[in-house]
């Protein structure tokens, strides 16, 4: 679909996958005016296809649009367009257990112009890519490194938006983590560098003394859809959940006091990702003996059960395509 000032969004169509033709001066290439989303389509045992909370993705896309001065999309039209695309391309949704079809909607400013201002012309594209099971053999704990030098987002910045610039800012931390044999980075706040924010592509949760604790949304972290679903599930199970500021020192103290029971990340890719080791400066914390904890496992089983249509969906999270 295309956008032009004065004309609005128009020319929605389904075309075979192909390279794009863009001017070398296209504004998205120089000034980063682009936003995206990540979601999945799942194949049920009866062969049908379904999406998990897709309205949340299009709502978040519009929140990103607002921050990047990109025109709003009609969320219901976008969902309808995606459903039509999935009906045409339904054979791409894998049948094998744990596999799914990754869906990447994105919008880029395409005006050929050297100079910083919001564009007048945009492309909204949805690409599809089958993805294999994230965990081939059970849930493997990941090792996370707390980044103390660089920051990913600041208050008033665009950390809450899903835009390439945020990921560009995170590459150096990820590179540093990999060099130290850690697979992911845990980012701290951009002001005092002591409050926990999020992992590279996941939100983060802690189980401290039987309470579920996660950083509150203050504009600098992505409002994850798996995060929201995790909070809703835990509350429905009668667990105590707090969304608040979490000082990294508090986590180290809870660990020393033997009260840090579980740490896990949440995101569309892995759904629930248990953390086995957390490194903060010279301190390496081994969480739950590097094993998946009961709350992480229950969340994973419930969330993936709903996503694959294996268990009931009391929250109405599922959108059936057929
Ligand atoms: N934070 C960041 C920076 C991410 O890229 C993602 C993945 N979209 C998440 C959190 C988790 O969000 P969601 O649960 O919507 O996938």
What's the rounded mean pLDDT across residues 223-252?
98
Check pLDDT > 80 for residue 138: no
* Predicted model pTM: 0.97
Pairing of strands 142-146, 271-280: parallel
Q: What is the CATH number of domain 2-131?
A: 3.30.470.10
Class of domain 142-307: alpha beta
Q: What does the angle CA 119 – CA 121 – CA 125 come to, to the nearest 5 degrees?
A: 115
Check pLDDT > 80 for residue 90: yes
Q: What does the angle CA 92 – CA 97 – CA 99 come to, to the nearest 5 degrees?
A: 45
Tell me how far apart the 2 most distant CA atoms of the chain are, in Å: 62
138 against 76, higher pLDDT: 76
- Going from the Cα of 202 to the center of ligand 1, the distance in angstroms, rounded, reads 5
At residue 135, the pLDDT reads 78
- Going from the Cα of 306 to the center of ligand 1, the distance in angstroms, rounded, reads 19
How do residues 186-231 score in pLDDT, each as one tens digit?
999 999 999 999 999 999 999 999 999 999 999 999 999 999 999 9
At residue 133, the pLDDT reads 84
Check pLDDT > 90 for residue 292: yes
Q: Give the percent of the chain with pLDDT over 70.
A: 99
At residue 137, the pLDDT reads 67
CA-nearest of 267, 261, 266, 269 to 239 is 261
- Going from the Cα of 268 to the center of ligand 1, the distance in angstroms, rounded, reads 7
How do residues 31-70 score in pLDDT, each as one tens digit?
999 999 999 999 999 999 999 999 999 999 999 999 999 9
> Which atom of ligand 1 lies closest to the CA of 162?
5
How do residues 170-191 score in pLDDT, each as one tens digit?
999 999 999 999 999 999 999 9
How do residues 260-291 score in pLDDT, each as one tens digit?
999 999 999 999 999 999 999 999 999 999 99
At residue 155, the pLDDT reads 85
23-43 burial: b if 16+ Cβ within 10 Å, else e:
eeebbbbebbbbbbbbbbbbb
- Going from the Cα of 7 to the center of ligand 1, the distance in angstroms, rounded, reads 32
Ligand 1 pocket, residues with Cβ under 6 angstroms: 38, 198, 201-203, 222, 224-227, 266-268
At residue 4, the pLDDT reads 98
Query: CA-CA distance, 170 to 145, in Å (whole number)?
Result: 13
Domain boundaries, the chain: 2-131, 142-307
């Amino acid at each position: 679909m295309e956008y032009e000032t004065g004309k609005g969004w128009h020319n929605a169509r389904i075309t075979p996958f192909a390279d794009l033709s863009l001017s070398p001066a296209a504004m998205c290439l120089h000034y980063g005016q682009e936003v995206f989303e990540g979601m999945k389509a799942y194949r049920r045992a009866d062969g049908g296809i379904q999406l998990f909370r897709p309205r949340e993705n299009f709502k978040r896309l519009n929140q990103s649009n607002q921050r990047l001065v990109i025109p709003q999309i009609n969320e219901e039209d976008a969902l309808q367009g995606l459903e039509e695309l999935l009906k045409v391309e339904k054979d791409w949704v894998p049948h094998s257990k744990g596999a799914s079809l990754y869906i990447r909607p994105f919008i880029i400013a395409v005006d050929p112009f050297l100079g910083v201002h919001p564009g007048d012309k945009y492309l909204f594209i949805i690409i599809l890519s089958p993805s294999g099971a994230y965990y081939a053999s059970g849930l493997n704990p990941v090792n996370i490194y707390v980044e103390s030098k660089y920051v990913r987002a600041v208050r008033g910045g665009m950390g809450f938006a899903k835009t390439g610039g945020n990921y560009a800012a995170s590459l150096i931390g990820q590179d540093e983590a990999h060099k130290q044999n850690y697979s992911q980075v845990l980012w701290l706040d951009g002001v005092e560098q002591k409050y926990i924010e999020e992992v590279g592509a996941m939100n983060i949760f802690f189980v401290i003394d039987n309470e579920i604790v996660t950083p509150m949304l203050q504009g600098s972290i992505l409002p994850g859809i798996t995060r929201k679903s995790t909070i809703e599930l835990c509350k429905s199970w009668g667990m105590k959940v707090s969304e608040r500021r979490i000082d990294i020192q508090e986590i180290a103290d809870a660990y020393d006091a033997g009260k840090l029971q579980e740490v896990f990340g949440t995101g569309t890719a892995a759904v629930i990702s248990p953390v086995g080791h957390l490194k903060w400066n010279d301190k390496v914390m081994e969480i739950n003996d590097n094993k998946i904890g009961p709350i992480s496992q229950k969340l994973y089983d419930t969330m993936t059960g709903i996503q694959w249509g294996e268990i009931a969906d009391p929250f109405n999270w599922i959108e059936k395509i057929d």
